[in-house]
Structure 1
Amino acid sequence: MSPELDKPITYLKGIGPKKSESYKKLGIETVYDLLYHFPRRYIDFNSPVPIAEAPRDEPCVIRATLVKKLSAAVLRSGMSIFKAVMTDGQSDITLIMFNNKFGFDMLKVGQEYSLYGKVTGDLVRKEISSPLMLDMSTGESVEPVYLLTEGINQFALRQAERNALGLLGDFIYEPLPKWVMKEYQLCSLTYALENIHFPKDMNTCAIAKKRLVFDELLTLSLGMRLLKSRSREQSGCVMKQCDITEFYSSLPFELTGAQKRAIGEVTADMCKQSPMNRLVQGDVGSGKTAVAAGAAYFAFLNSFQTAMMAPTEILATQHYETLSGFLEPLGVKCALLTGSIPAKKKAALKEQIADGEYSVVVGTHALVQNSTQFKKLGLVITDEQHRFGVKQRAALSDKGENPHRLVMSATPIPRTLALMIYGDLDLSILDEMPKGRQKTETYAVTGKLRERAFGFVKGELDKGRQAYIVCPMIEESDSDLISVKKYSQELAEGAFSGYEVGLLHGKLPPDKKEKVMRDFKDKKTDILVSTTVIEVGVDVPNATVMVIENADRFGLSQLHQLRGRVGRGEYSSFCILITDNVSEESRSRLKIMSKTSDGFVISEEDLKMRGPGDFFGSRQHGLPKLRIADMSEDIEILRKAQLCAEEILRRDEKLTTPENKGLRELIDRLFEDDMSQN
């Protein structure tokens, strides 16, 4: 890799210590960071419209020659206004610039410019204020638009990018092996970096972007596979195959075929020389906890302890109650360890755990404290692992001799992406629902039917049931949405004045969140008004109806996760999606929700339908932050990158050959601390 890439940006002309602090806010500290700070979008100046046909109050491109500069005016506030007359030969337009004498002085009479901005005025007089401008004599026709911060404008950032490329010269470095570039028809990295920042047209920009996206997804695929191979060290908890028929026969219900298959995969892994590293992924209500219980029972028969970590006390308590119900009749002693247990009782409990009196310990982050020790920890189970930091998960595993690890997630991820998100884990999918699980009837309605929907909710409440009402946001500043606090108060005083209404949102302290959820679970409140913090949460079998306001603001997968909070008991359950967005896209999305309850089908549809953006919140899942690739847009490149990664590792499983040195450096850079131990 070129040594210039790691130089601080102060090495570049025009960037001193003060300016470098502004760049730091954008995450830019080195020349590499700068070159990999990619444009958010591009303005294509190749399709101008005549001034006379420019749409009102909508950004557009016009092309015009500067005819005359007018005298500057200074307002009382001290603001300077600069104006110039421009023409496209048929119509005139007035250019207006504010407090930009330098930019105004740079403009030349008689020179043709492309302008991008909103045209205002009327049929007689048209104006354009502070547009983005391109001098047509430069030959450029595409303008990149970057994410900025205070103290840095587009012009300054572009100049810095130009200086960075100039510093590197004609040859930067080429991390990809030649056979990869040829097989996947990729341009050189030098070409890609030049044309992502200074494309001649949108075609060269697309060629550059394809290469950079491929690099990023290939690096991610390789890194995840190397993480997976890294976990194949010798386990100190190798178990022996034994009969768990007694576990199956003791359950008050019959396991699905998928649950039995998952338990078989888990127990087979636990008998191997290297520690298990497996994800059990299943829809809400698919029975992951029963799989965890089967694994814990198998560990118990092999004289090993099991630790299960949940993100909140109320979830830990729920898992404890379920696991102890399944296992204690079989002689397996279970303990609950959380932060709220009184100090004296907690100390005694920790002593008993260290002595091996308890075979299964369920808890929160209290499990990873230094004072919590196990006698013979053989299995670590993590629920919704993306809610924990890497260090917390590692700290729990460190309490045993390379114990087996089982991760549970209720977030259905498209099969095409599962390997990418959980590439360091083997995968068990629960694709069957247990018998008796209620299908939640789902209806999409407009705001005009809100009162009728609330009437339906009251009908359920009057039967002794409970309800959720979900709002998409909490910020008071969101002028287009009633804040959840105010909305909750209006419901309590209006439509549901005769009922107990609780309020749950992300800004509540953890202990208050726990209390609100416990009150709802204990039937002290009838309705829980909530933001999406209930997306992955507690079982409340008595809750049979959910109303989701502004449903068009959620992704399909998120709607499905929310809907999973109801239908968990013996009663018929319902979900009402309220939206005033009647666009074709919105209608088709909500139709999918009404049509299917299969989370995997929904996640695939979500992937197809959603535009740019972070499709399932990849950062929650512990993935490195991607700079240019988009999981929802670049699915085809992702598939190719995965195939390429497999072939590269088939040829060189540790990436130790000279031709793969550059790839190894890219992986180290992307994964940083995670890969440092590899």
Structure 2
Amino acid sequence: MSLFSVPISNLKGVGKKRAPLFQKIGALSVGALLRLYPRTYEDWNHRSTVSDAVPGTVCAIRATVSSIGSPVRVHGGMILIKGTAEDETGILNLTFFNNPYIPHLLIPDSTYIFYGKVTENFGHKEMASPAFLLEERCTGLRPIYPQTKGLTSRMIENAVREALRLLPETIKDPIPSPLRKEEGLCYLRFALENIHCPKDTESMETARRRLIFEELLVLQLGLLSMKSHTREKSKFCVKAEYTKEFWGLLPFSPTNAQKRAVEESIADLMSGNPMNRLIQGDVGSGKTVVAAALCHTMAKNKIQSALMVPTDILAHQHFASLSPLLGRCGIRVGLLTGSMKAKEKREIKSALLSGEIDVLIGTHAILTQDVQFQNLGLVITDEQHRFGVRQRAELAEKSKGTHVLVMSATPIPRTLALIIYGDLDLSVIDELPPGRQKIKTFWITGDKRRRAIGFLEKQVKLHRQCYVICPMIEDGSEKASVTGYAKKLKKELPSCRIGALHGRMKATEKDKIMEDFSAGNLDILVSTTVVEVGVDVPNATVMLIENAEQYGLSQLHQLRGRVGRGKFQSYCILISDAQNDNAQARMKAMCETQDGFEIADRDLKLRGPGDFFGDRQHGLPQLKIADINTDLAVLKRTQTIARSLLAEDPELKNEDHRGLCAEVRLLFQSLESS
């Protein structure tokens, strides 16, 4: 029986009481617990003597227990136990809190390894509540696991040791033997034992190398399999392209990068195979124009298109710009959002099914089962990082063999794109339309806030508009909450028209506020990051961000991209009193560069891949041991191997590949259940 089918509650020392805590950290089964790897290790091998131990540092000390006192109840009901241990250089004072079992665990005249922070009091070295093990039981490296309230790393360590005892004598290794030998990888059993209970640093590194390789290989096989499934013939093969006619509709000339992205996409549409492409471009690089060009060609070939965006506001904006543009050559554009009235929705759905609508623009409302197309051949998702693999697939399933284009205004480091969009071909729009001015970016501390607000007032007097971003909606200070800040500004700038916008407002309220701001009826909009993806307001010239240290670099860059869309010089003001190096590095990066891809690379280095996407909106399985920053070479190697394996055995049905196939299914189960 697979240990992945054994509930975690069956494990000795866990039971039904602790099972929910283990499930909270992702260990739903005994097998899943064994794949929950330590996040770091305590090194009990490098030991210090009592006299050499430096106060304020964490270290391991080998010492023999000389005395252990009885439990004493002190003020507040706390139990206190004191003792001493010594080596040839001195005495170590020990203090334990609320652990009445210490006298039974520490035996006088026995030698232990004590691990903890050393302090000094009146010339005497001390440790408070150190971890300890009998010298003969100490293996050197002790694992530290991701924890949750009520579940310590030591509890997890004990459970893992029990789980390791359940491993069968012979484990079926998912990595085929020839490949394992070729790559110089250890067996799976050795890897699992030595990632959790390493004999020494060398054994731990050997285990890590094997598990990182396996994880990245399985991920690449899964993503490339998704990609290969789209390589069946498409019934929506475009016979003729109309790009030249579309460029003629525009009041400006497209950039070379836009032309290249359209050419690559049109080649896909005419190839006879379904397109599966990502268009990645910086804020304001003109991805929507590329999408419109493709919708135009599809409509001219009598094939319907759908453009899905994350917000009603963005859907209305695209409809307002694309409907008259495409309408000039007879292409009919429809709009479908969740906030529309039932009658309007029925009319749109009917027109889609009858083929009266050529291009549909909408939100996730497009995904509902009752939205049916007559001849849907192209699906485009905008702001892809807000949807994810699952929703992309749902939209594509509206019609078999559909071409899929995804667009992202969040530049993703090319290293991370190898994983996130491994199932897609990639086009990069790496130049901005001519005439776009650089946004002047400043980082100031809170004591200069009054001057910044005075600058907002000056911009309003020049008939410009401003954004103010706050991290909270309400119940915070005036500097941190949308509601508090809006009230404060209304007092300080009585001549300015000020509005507030946040995610808890009804869709109709949000739309009204954004319409007023877009129409110039509001001078200053105080908002949460809900405006990160919003309407274009060419007259907006200032983006002021409070508590800027609370946002990632890529999000700050997205917010900055809300201004600088018109002919006026624009500004981004970051207000932060953060003292930590990481936050200050982000503020400096924003002031130094406006290149979205460089910003993304810095963001990845500062925050790591685990936090890069916030709430993991990309919808991909989470890496458990691999690190994209440090394991890029392994990533590239496994991608090459995955391609070779799938070329030889596309369904991974060969006996040697069945273990890998099972691992792929296991890894992507989270997608299917989401």
TM-score using structure 1 length: 0.91
Correspondences of 1:122-137 after superposition (within 5 Å): 122-124=121-123, 127-137=126-136
1:563 is the counterpart of 2:560: yes
The residue number in structure 1 matching 2:367 is 368
Structure 2: distance between partners of 1:308 and 1:105: 69
Structure 1: distance between partners of 2:479 and 2:87: 47
Shift of the 475–68 alpha-carbon distance from structure 1 to 2, 3 Å rule, reads farther
| 8 Å Cα contact 1:488-1:501 kept in structure 2 | no
1:97 is the counterpart of 2:96: yes
User: Partner of 2:542: helix, strand, or coil?
Assistant: strand
Correspondences of 1:293-304 after superposition (within 5 Å): 293-304=292-303
Unaligned runs of 5+ in 1: none
Please list the CA deviations of residues 296-328 of structure 1 after superposition, one character each: whole Å capped at 9, or x if unmatched: 110111111211111111110011112113211
Amino acid at match of 2:661: R
Please list the CA deviations of residues 186-226 of structure 1 after superposition, one character each: whole Å capped at 9, or x if unmatched: 22221211111112333432322222122111111111000
Deviation of 1:507 after TM superposition, in Å, equals 4.9
The residue number in structure 1 matching 2:396 is 397
Shift of the 394–58 alpha-carbon distance from structure 1 to 2, 3 Å rule, reads same
User: Partner of 2:617: helix, strand, or coil?
Assistant: helix
Correspondences of 1:251-270 after superposition (within 5 Å): 251-270=250-269
Amino acid at match of 2:401: N
Structure 1: distance between partners of 2:487 and 2:535: 26
Structure 2: distance between partners of 1:452 and 1:63: 60
1:322 is the counterpart of 2:321: yes
Deviation of 1:280 after TM superposition, in Å, equals 1.2
Amino acid at match of 1:450: R
Shift of the 257–200 alpha-carbon distance from structure 1 to 2, 3 Å rule, reads same
Deviation of 1:521 after TM superposition, in Å, equals 2.6
Structure 2: distance between partners of 1:133 and 1:497: 65
Please list the CA deviations of residues 5-32 of structure 1 after superposition, one character each: whole Å capped at 9, or x if unmatched: 4323344333433333432233323221
| 8 Å Cα contact 1:545-1:575 kept in structure 2 | yes
Correspondences of 1:77-156 after superposition (within 5 Å): 78-120=77-119, 122-124=121-123, 127-149=126-148, 152-156=151-155
1:603 is the counterpart of 2:600: yes
Unaligned runs of 5+ in 2: none
Shift of the 561–80 alpha-carbon distance from structure 1 to 2, 3 Å rule, reads same
Structure 2: distance between partners of 1:655 and 1:107: 54
The residue number in structure 2 matching 1:655 is 652
Structure 2: distance between partners of 1:474 and 1:131: 43
The residue number in structure 1 matching 2:232 is 233
User: Partner of 1:346: helix, strand, or coil?
Assistant: helix
Shift of the 476–246 alpha-carbon distance from structure 1 to 2, 3 Å rule, reads same
Cα root mean square deviation, aligned: 3.0
- More deviation in 18-27 or 509-518? 509-518
Structure 2: distance between partners of 1:640 and 1:323: 43
Structure 2: distance between partners of 1:473 and 1:85: 51
Structure 1: distance between partners of 2:389 and 2:30: 29
Please list the CA deviations of residues 484-520 of structure 1 after superposition, one character each: whole Å capped at 9, or x if unmatched: 2475257425654543444444555555544443443
| 8 Å Cα contact 2:460-2:523 kept in structure 1 | yes
User: Partner of 1:577: helix, strand, or coil?
Assistant: strand
| 8 Å Cα contact 1:173-1:190 kept in structure 2 | no
1:619 is the counterpart of 2:633: no
Deviation of 1:353 after TM superposition, in Å, equals 2.6
Match of 1:537 among 526, 534, 537: 534
| 8 Å Cα contact 1:97-1:104 kept in structure 2 | no
The residue number in structure 2 matching 1:195 is 194
Structure 2: distance between partners of 1:613 and 1:123: 45
Structure 2: distance between partners of 1:115 and 1:474: 48
Shift of the 210–467 alpha-carbon distance from structure 1 to 2, 3 Å rule, reads farther
Shift of the 113–552 alpha-carbon distance from structure 1 to 2, 3 Å rule, reads farther
Correspondences of 1:584-603 after superposition (within 5 Å): 589-603=586-600
Structure 2: distance between partners of 1:490 and 1:189: 61
Match of 2:635 among 632, 635, 638: 638
User: Partner of 2:621: helix, strand, or coil?
Assistant: coil
Deviation of 1:573 after TM superposition, in Å, equals 0.9
| 8 Å Cα contact 2:380-2:407 kept in structure 1 | yes
Amino acid at match of 1:40: R
Deviation of 1:338 after TM superposition, in Å, equals 1.6
Shift of the 516–424 alpha-carbon distance from structure 1 to 2, 3 Å rule, reads same
Deviation of 1:610 after TM superposition, in Å, equals 4.2
Structure 2: distance between partners of 1:269 and 1:616: 29
Please list the CA deviations of residues 158-204 of structure 1 after superposition, one character each: whole Å capped at 9, or x if unmatched: 22211211211443232112343334332222121111111233343
Deviation of 1:292 after TM superposition, in Å, equals 0.8
The residue number in structure 2 matching 1:406 is 405
- More deviation in 167-176 or 538-547? 167-176
Q: What number of residue pairs does the alignment pair up?
A: 673
| 8 Å Cα contact 2:440-2:570 kept in structure 1 | yes
Shift of the 333–660 alpha-carbon distance from structure 1 to 2, 3 Å rule, reads same
Shift of the 293–635 alpha-carbon distance from structure 1 to 2, 3 Å rule, reads same
Structure 1: distance between partners of 2:605 and 2:233: 41
| 8 Å Cα contact 1:180-1:644 kept in structure 2 | no
User: Partner of 2:94: helix, strand, or coil?
Assistant: strand
Please list the CA deviations of residues 120-146 of structure 1 after superposition, one character each: whole Å capped at 9, or x if unmatched: 563345543323223322232222122
Deviation of 1:560 after TM superposition, in Å, equals 1.8
Structure 2: distance between partners of 1:574 and 1:233: 49
Shift of the 39–219 alpha-carbon distance from structure 1 to 2, 3 Å rule, reads same
The residue number in structure 1 matching 2:334 is 335
| 8 Å Cα contact 1:613-1:632 kept in structure 2 | no
Shift of the 674–15 alpha-carbon distance from structure 1 to 2, 3 Å rule, reads closer
Structure 2: distance between partners of 1:89 and 1:533: 64
Structure 1: distance between partners of 2:8 and 2:561: 49
| 8 Å Cα contact 2:113-2:138 kept in structure 1 | no
Deviation of 1:430 after TM superposition, in Å, equals 0.9
- More deviation in 542-551 or 260-269? 542-551
Shift of the 585–529 alpha-carbon distance from structure 1 to 2, 3 Å rule, reads same
The residue number in structure 2 matching 1:667 is 664
Deviation of 1:574 after TM superposition, in Å, equals 1.2
Shift of the 348–489 alpha-carbon distance from structure 1 to 2, 3 Å rule, reads closer
1:492 is the counterpart of 2:489: yes
The residue number in structure 2 matching 1:291 is 290
| 8 Å Cα contact 1:114-1:136 kept in structure 2 | yes
